[in-house]
Chain A
Amino acid sequence: MNDILKVGDQEFNSRLFLGTGKFSSTNAMIEAVKASGTELVTVALRRFNRDQAEDDLYGPLAELSNVKLMPNTSGAMNAKEAVRAAMLGRELSKSPIVKLEIHPNPHHLLPDPIETHEAAVELVKQGFLVLPYIPADPVLAKRLEDIGCAAVMPLGAAIGTGKGLSTAEMIKIIVRDANVPVVVDAGLRAPSEAACAMEMGCDAVLVNSAIAAAEDPAAMGAAFKTGVEAGRMAFNGGLMSTSEVAVASSPLTSFLSNND
């Protein structure tokens, strides 16, 4: 079945986006990326340090075919810094895709909606495909769509908490109203939660900690791949409606008791 995800002019067969942070080694990350089937991975920017050259992921990721890079703006405390980070990321990725994230408070890492909106306006103007990481706020999601963001990425729970789809009701509203892809970003812990997000009609999920912090990241990458695919297939298949009363699956004709 032709079920391509389009983000701006970019097309993806996989609806699982992967973060590359927190892995125990570059090799573990690469194996998880391969096992997950992802075609879009996030990367962060850090100051060059020639004594830590092994942390430079440009080379290892460039060797993967079919995987695009999405630089994030992590570390930006405000719109101005985020725009600058996005421009630097584009210099390396040679691609307009950017994950816009501005979360100034290290205790909860929740996105700053006002700075995010301001940065998104500027980045769209500069020709970026902007995928903003946002609170699960339907009004903000719509405003970001209106100013030209290529997708919206509401959080399921706070980054790295593994608390799952704690914002499910708000995400349902975002999905119902959105005309751009909705990507659940942050908070997922289990592949079943990714499947649940996809069943709700989300267009993709972005997962990092759940895979990077798993005992076997490659196995968890494969599990999330299957979870995302199952959820998407279920959404396309059309879930049955619920009922307040039991509805029998087998015929209830009483042929056993009427033959006395």
Chain B
Amino acid sequence: MSRESVLGERGADWLRTMVRIRRFEETLADLHRSGELVGVVHLSIGQEATAVGICSSLRAGDQITSTHRGHHHMLARGLEPRRMYAEILGRAGGYCGGKGGSMHVSSFSEGAVGANGIVGGGIAHAVGLALAAQTLGKQSVAVAFFGDGAANQGVLFESLNLAALWQVPVLFVCENNGYTEFTPTDAVTAGGSIFARAATFGLPAEAVDGDDVISVHRAADEVLARARNGGGPAFIECRTNRWRGHHEGEESYARPYREPPKPPDPLDRLEEAMAAAGLDAAPLRSRIELEERALVAESLAAARAEPEPETSRAFEDVFA
């Protein structure tokens, strides 16, 4: 499919989801600054195209595992902003009843096994989810999202080995945003290429421009179609940029680490690509901005109106 026709078919949805993620997270930054949002929150602003490009290739029944920086994955997977806010604000109506918070948003029934607070913690889960799907005769796939930091965790390589041996339908997505928490990834990563490490296990591995939603989507579509037909695992390194710090509020002890990066905003890049494809992008963007800002505001208001969880909930769900 040509770039123009892909944009015609999917561009508006992509733009809407990317705008939703951006405005959703900007609001979280405000809430953190005002003190309403407690705990540690890691924002994905700047990385929207990666989440949206991958998740727009998924179907009902597929599962994703995500990271401490995972709001964009969850929104791209289709989770509701209202229940996300409720979770992140510790309300009863949150996806996990307020027991997970920002780092553990999960909605199994909607194909998101969950975010994970441990770097690399969810990667092996995706291998097992893929094996379960294959064993139970489902056509579904599993996607493991993780960052460049997890590319230095042993469990990634153990998981790549298992997935390659078992030929299970799992896609490894390394979202390389250039920073391992506070440390530039280049300074702690030998060999110069993360996807090349994966390729040594004998599975298809490539790097794509993670800020270009079309490139991400095309790469994901190809390998996921192959995985659904028994073609086994694959690895995509999405090279993107983290615009904000490791977590909100870090300026209290850490120097701001850099200026907002160039090249420009993945949202603007998509809008420009749509305009170049002859689509009426500017008015569409304006309309989407209005609608998504309203949705985010309504969702936040609804989440704020939710009660706190009953205290008794603290003592439930340890065991079946």
A and B are partners in one complex rather than unrelated chains: no
B contacts, CB < 8 Å to A: none
